[in-house]
Amino acid sequence: MRLSRYLLPVSRETPAGAEIVSHQLMLRAGLIRQTAAGIYAWLPLGLRVLDRIASIVRREQDRAGALEMLMPTIQPADLWRQSGRYDAYGPEMLRIGDRHGREMLYGPTNEEMVTAIFRDCVRSYRDLPRILYHIQWKFRDEVRPRFGVMRGREFLMKDAYSFDMDMDGGRASYDAMFTAYLKTFAALGLRAVPVRAPSGPIGGDLSHEFHILADTGESEIFYDAALDDIDLRDAAAPERLRTLYAMEAEEHAKVANCPVPPDRLARRRGIEVGHIFFFGTKYSAAMGLEVQAADGGMVTPLMGSYGIGVSRLAGAIIEASHDEAGIIWPESVAPFDLGLVNLRPDDPACAEACAGLEDRLEAQGRTVLHDDREARGGEKFATMDLIGLPWVVTVGPRGLATGTVELKRRSTGERHELSMESLLARFGGVASGTAA
């Protein structure tokens, strides 16, 4: 992609009203634009990131056996009257009337809708267990939308719903999602800590929030410092994380005898990026979902719901990964794999070399943002640092004379010269994974 044909409104100024660094950087790097309080348009560069986050979330849901579907954003109020939540939900719900005066709403979540769909499609125990999910926009009229996409009013969420015949099955579905969440956040380049959350009427330990530890987080977390030493990619990590102590401040305050000795009790702020919750028959019973069991009797399935804040994650990743100069995208979600800076677009040899590199890298499955604009080198480097592509290749007449280009790694700043052939070899087949 040539930058001269792209839409990338970058800015040096710190935008007014953007309090935290991720919000400032998302605006400055031309990822998003606000269109109303808590509502954002995703510009081309931002959409690429959002799509990559969503596709990692999708991949891990699929691997866990969940089935993707797509439910609409607009829902009839009647559905919510069946569960009894229509009046209870309060002013966070955006209520809409259609031309016939029917009451509708912009969905803040989908428990009612998915329960009604499952009720209408499924009759027998043979159709269970199932986990259904979708990645869809939600609307919640937050009292205080802030921090950009971190607490928006319109935001993208992955929400999954499990249906099981009995408690053993329910626990297995919950565990599958717990593990899928750890894999998802690790693949996004994040360290997410599962925090015990209030579990509602059923009790037990089947409610967790996943938090990214960051000073700008809205929640305060108390946890066993032994957590910091766990390798989240380790197969044994889920079990260890389930047993180690981690709670939000409000819940921690209710604990009479904290099992963690004071010198091992860590206290950090966290950004909630996911929440998993098992609630049994709360919606299935209220909405008349029943299936026939093997013995012929009728059973009310047990359910859980499992959310991930897909758009919030874009901000959370930046909170966790940036420096003075800008964003540092993990390779798994970067909007382009490489930046390509032409120092002298007016020099035909440079222009030709850059066009050739762009083509060949893309033929090898790499995405490239090629800065072919007539602008000063310093400005181009500053833009690349700001938008945070993992690698930047610089092409200038001096290097070209000896057939070399410069490769810089954004995360460490380390740079070295190499031939064009070794550059292409290094960023060879995508299937083999990321470049060293």
Interface with ligand ATP (CB under 6 A) = 109, 140, 142, 151-152, 155, 157, 272-275, 307, 309, 311-312
Of the candidates 91, 183, 84, 86, the one whose C-alpha atom is nearest the C-alpha of residue 144 is: 91
Q: How far apart are the first and last CA of the chain?
A: 23
Least distance between ligand ATP and beta carbon 133 (Å): 12
Nearer to ligand ATP, 26 or 405 (CB): 26
Instruction: Quote the CA–CA distance of 312 and 256 in Å, as a whole number.
Output: 33
Nearer to ligand ATP, 116 or 313 (CB): 313
Of the candidates 371, 257, 434, 337, the one whose C-alpha atom is nearest the C-alpha of residue 8 is: 371
Of the candidates 212, 231, 228, the one whose C-alpha atom is nearest the C-alpha of residue 269 is: 212
Q: Cα angle at 3 between 42 and 396, to 5 degrees? A: 145
Nearer to ligand ATP, 210 or 223 (CB): 210
Q: Which residue is nearest to ligand ATP (CB)?
A: 309
| Residue pointed to by tokens 């382009």 | 336
Least distance between ligand ATP and beta carbon 306 (Å): 9
Residue 20, token pair as written in the block = 């935290």
Least distance between ligand ATP and beta carbon 124 (Å): 31
The helix (H) or strand (E) run that includes residue 34 is strand 32-36
Nearer to ligand ATP, 220 or 347 (CB): 220
Least distance between ligand ATP and beta carbon 150 (Å): 6
Name the residue type at position 360: R
Nearer to ligand ATP, 145 or 396 (CB): 145
Which letter, b or e, does each residue of 11-23 get, where b requires 16 or more Cβ atoms within 10 Å of its Cβ? eeeeeeebebbbb
Nearer to ligand ATP, 24 or 404 (CB): 24
Least distance between ligand ATP and beta carbon 139 (Å): 9
Least distance between ligand ATP and beta carbon 360 (Å): 40
**Contact status, residue 350 vs residue 343, Cβ threshold 8 Å:** yes
Nearer to ligand ATP, 43 or 135 (CB): 135
Least distance between ligand ATP and beta carbon 92 (Å): 9
Q: Cα angle at 30 between 74 and 313, to 5 degrees? A: 55
